[in-house]
Amino acid sequence: MKLSVLVPCYNEELYIKRCIDSLLNQTIKIDEILILNDGSTDNTLSIIKEYELNNDNVRVLNIENKGLTAGRNTLINNCKGDYFYFVDADDWVEDKCVQHFKDKVSEKEYECIFSPCYKNNKTFKTHSKIKKNTTKEKYCIDNLTYVWNIFFKKSFWIDNNLSYDEKYKMFEDIGAIVKIMIKLNDAGFILEKSYHWTTDKNPKSRFVFEKDKLDMAIGQMQSAFIDANNEFKGKNPRYVNDILAFLLSININYVLFLSEGISKKEYIKKIKKIEKENGMIKFPKSPWKFMFFILYKIF
């Protein structure tokens, strides 16, 4: 069962070596490490080309800058593995990451295999709620917010026509996540943590929310909500509601803490507007309960 590790990168010269070294230092050799340079203007391309020259399992794709959404689609369409696994360029994995995957997939060829992770070298509570009796519904509602650190069976992705909508230039995971949750029937779980999610390098420079970006994010989430309803056709509205409520809460959490020039009152107003337009999305009405809901889900 071949594995492709997919690494999209843009101007990551300070972090990409740590990422690639962690992949090359696995206890089991990765079949393919496919790295996409999305038109970087720093030394990222020269660094990854050197790795390609010196390692037979490293392959580099170099494209003009199209954004992360198009980049993820390009990587998936060009990888050769039976499974693929996204690692962001500023993140890294421990040396038994692939070993844990191989052990799990030897039990059964699951459509997706999930595992917990670290956030800035500390256990990430939200993404560590994996136990022996974890169900895919429980995990998806509580944890599935990003596509990295998930082992996807490529045939599952292709057979269900999963892809990223390239018209969205931010929050590219949201639409794909909802479709994954809907289509997923067979999930496996790894109990050991191997993935290190790095968010402390300078979060303000990565997530600065202005009004137009917030509206774009909300628009994408509402589109994902409509897609989810169309897919479910009323079969499981509670599940859809929980998915979207969680995804909305994550992004509202971001904008509340990392926004510029937008008041909390404006965000609450937007929430009410979303609730009115999509009657199945409900948030706690009390501001204190609302904040507790967000903090509980995120932290």
| 66-93 confidence digits (pLDDT tens) | 888 889 999 999 999 999 999 999 999 9
Section 112-133 average pLDDT:
70
- Token pair belonging to 11: 């101007």
Point out the domain boundary residue: 143, 178, 197. Answer: 197
How many alpha carbons lie under 13 Å from residue 234 in its C-beta half-sphere?
0
pLDDT confidence of residue 187: 86
CATH number for the domain harbouring residue 121: 3.90.550.10
Higher-confidence residue of 27 and 199: namely: 27
pLDDT confidence of residue 205: 39
Phi and psi at residue 285, to the nearest 5°: -80, -35
Assess whether 50 and 152 both reside in one domain: yes
> Which among 161, 275, 284 has a CA at the least distance from the CA of 227?
161
- Token pair belonging to 104: 């799990």
Higher-confidence residue of 146 and 294: namely: 146
From the number of C-beta atoms within 10 Å of its C-beta (0-12, 13-18, 19+), residue 181 rates as buried
pLDDT confidence of residue 115: 87
> Which among 79, 5, 68, 16 has a CA at the least distance from the CA of 42?
16
Assess whether 24 and 170 both reside in one domain: yes
pLDDT confidence of residue 244: 59
Assess whether 136 and 243 both reside in one domain: no
Higher-confidence residue of 221 and 292: namely: 221
Point out the domain boundary residue: 197, 224, 242. Answer: 197
Assess whether 18 and 155 both reside in one domain: yes
Assess whether 127 and 231 both reside in one domain: no
Higher-confidence residue of 205 and 256: namely: 256
Point out the domain boundary residue: 167, 197, 227. Answer: 197
Assess whether 99 and 229 both reside in one domain: no
Assess whether 86 and 127 both reside in one domain: yes
> Which among 23, 78, 92 has a CA at the least distance from the CA of 51?
23
- Mean pLDDT for the chain? 77
Query: What percentage of the chain carries pLDDT values higher than 70?
Result: 56
Domain count, the chain: 2
Contacts of 247 (CB under 8 A, 6+ apart): 145, 174, 177, 178, 221, 224
Section 258-285 average pLDDT:
62
Assess whether 98 and 25 both reside in one domain: yes
Domain range for 211 = 203-298
Assess whether 34 and 139 both reside in one domain: yes
The whole-angstrom separation of Cα 75 and Cα 90 is: 17
Q: What does the pLDDT look like over 189-234, one tens digit per residue?
A: 888 889 998 876 544 334 444 555 666 666 666 666 666 566 655 5
